[in-house]
C-alpha cells in the first residue's frame, strides 16, 4: 500500500520503531537523570547538615576561646597583683633584715 505522499506502510512502521527506540532511550536517560538528581539532592542535604554542624562547632569554639582568653587575662592580672605583693613583701623583709642584721650584710 502506498500513500499519496509516497510513504510506504513498511517505511512508516520502521519510522515508528525508530521513534519508539528513541523514546525508550530518552525514558532511560530521564530515569538516570532523576536518580542523579535524587543523589545530588541527598548529598546537598548531608552537606548542608555538615556545614551547619561545623558552623555551630566553630561558634562554640569561638565562645570557648573568648571565655578562655578572658580567664587568661584575669589570671594574668591576678599574677601581676601577686607579684606586686611579693615584691612589697621582699622589700619589707629586706628592711627588717637590715634592721636586725645591720647594713653590712647587704
Domain ranges of the chain: 9-78
Mean predicted confidence (pLDDT) in 27-38: 96
Name the pLDDT band for 101 (thresholds 50, 70, 90).
Answer: confident
Mean pLDDT in the chain? 90
Task: Give the span between the Cα atoms of 60 and 69, in whole angstroms.
Answer: 14
Residue 100 in grid coordinates? 636586725
Mean pLDDT across 52-70: 93
Q: Report the C-alpha gap between 4 and 57 in whole angstroms.
A: 76
d(CA 48, CA 57): 14
Please give the pLDDT value at position 2: 47
Distance of CA 14 to the CA centre of its chain: 58
Higher pLDDT pick, 90 / 102: 90
pTM to 2 decimal places: 0.52
71 in Cβ contact with 78 (< 8 Å) = no
Task: Sort residue 8 into left (φ over 0), alpha (ψ -120 to 50) or beta.
Answer: beta
Amino acid at each position: 500500500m502506498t500513500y499519496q505522499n509516497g510513504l510506504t506502510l513498511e517505511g512508516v512502521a520502521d519510522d515508528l520503531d525508530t521513534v519508539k527506540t528513541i523514546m525508550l532511550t530518552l525514558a532511560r536517560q530521564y530515569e538516570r537523570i532523576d536518580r542523579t538528581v535524587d543523589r545530588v539532592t541527598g548529598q546537598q542535604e548531608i552537606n548542608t547538615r555538615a556545614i551547619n554542624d561545623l558552623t555551630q562547632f566553630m561558634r562554640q569554639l569561638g565562645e570557648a576561646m573568648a571565655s578562655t582568653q578572658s580567664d587568661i587575662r584575669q589570671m594574668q592580672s591576678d599574677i601581676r597583683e601577686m607579684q606586686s605583693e611579693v615584691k612589697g613583701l621582699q622589700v619589707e623583709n629586706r628592711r627588717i633584715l637590715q634592721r636586725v642584721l645591720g647594713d653590712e650584710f647587704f
